[in-house]
Amino acid sequence: MPDDQEIHRGLEGVIVSESKVGSVDGLKGRLIYRGYDIETLVKNSTYEEVSFLLVNGELPNKGQFSEFLKVMNDGIKLPEKLVSFIDRYAGYSHPMADLRSAVSVLGSEEHESSDLTPDQQKDIGLSIIAKMPAIVAAIKRKWEGKNIVPPKSGLSYAQNFLYMTNGSEPSRDEAKVMDTCLIIHADHGSNASTFSSLVTISTLSDMCSAVTSGISTLKGPLHGGANEMALKMIKKIGTPDNADKAIGDMLARKDKVMGFGHRVYKVYDPRAKILKEFARSITSKSGKQNLFDTAEAIEKAMISRMGDRGIFPNVDFYSGMVYESIGFPENMFTPIFAASRSSGWVARSFEYVKDNRLFRPRTKYTGEVGPREYIPMDRR
Shortest Cβ 202–ligand SDX spacing (Å): 19
CA dist., res. 101 & res. 114, Å (int): 19
Distances (CA, A) of 133 to 166, 255, 345, 351, 365: 12, 33, 15, 23, 44
- Provide the total of helices (H) and of strands (E) in the chain, helices listed first: 16, 3
Shortest Cβ 309–ligand SDX spacing (Å): 6
Binding test (CB under 6 A) with ligand SDX, winner from 52, 157, 260, 278: 260
Shortest Cβ 220–ligand SDX spacing (Å): 9
User: What is the side-by-side order of every strand in the sheet holding 22-25?
Assistant: 22-25, 30-33, 36-37
Candidates 103-111, 208-216, 256-264, 282-290; binding stretch for ligand SDX (CB under 6 A): 256-264
Q: Which is nearer to ligand SDX, 159 or 342 (by Cβ)? A: 342
Distances (CA, A) of 323 to 197, 316, 344, 352: 25, 11, 20, 32
Q: Which amino acid is at 121?
A: Q
Q: Which is nearer to ligand SDX, 155 or 250 (by Cβ)? A: 250
The residues in 165-204 that bind ligand SDX, with binding defined as CB under 6 A, are 188-189, 191
The answer to whether 76 and 138 are in contact (CB under 8 A) is: no
Reference 194, options 216, 225, 168; nearest CA is 216
Reference 186, options 61, 24, 77, 320; nearest CA is 24
Q: Which is nearer to ligand SDX, 170 or 270 (by Cβ)? A: 270
Reference 191, options 215, 223, 221; nearest CA is 223
| SS3 state of residue 240 | helix
Q: Which is nearer to ligand SDX, 39 or 109 (by Cβ)? A: 39
262 is known as an active-site residue: yes
Binding test (CB under 6 A) with ligand SDX, winner from 82, 96, 177, 226: 226
Binding test (CB under 6 A) with ligand SDX, winner from 43, 171, 222, 357: 222
The residues in 311-350 that bind ligand SDX, with binding defined as CB under 6 A, are 311, 314-316
Distances (CA, A) of 132 to 151, 157, 273, 341: 12, 10, 26, 10
The answer to whether 298 and 247 are in contact (CB under 8 A) is: yes
**Total residues at the site for ligand SDX (CB under 6 A)?**
21
β-pairing verdict for 22-25 and 36-37: unpaired
308 is known as an active-site residue: no
The answer to whether 297 and 243 are in contact (CB under 8 A) is: yes
Q: Which is nearer to ligand SDX, 49 or 187 (by Cβ)? A: 187
Q: Which is nearer to ligand SDX, 261 or 335 (by Cβ)? A: 261
Shortest Cβ 1–ligand SDX spacing (Å): 28
Shortest Cβ 22–ligand SDX spacing (Å): 10
Max alpha carbon distance in the chain (Å)? 77
Residue 50 binding ligand SDX, by CB under 6 A: no
Residue 232 binding ligand SDX, by CB under 6 A: no
Shortest Cβ 190–ligand SDX spacing (Å): 7
316 is known as an active-site residue: yes
Q: Which residues participate in catalysis according to the annotation?
A: 223, 262, 316
Contact residues toward ligand SDX (CB under 6 A) are 188-189, 191, 222-224, 226, 256-264, 309, 311, 314-316
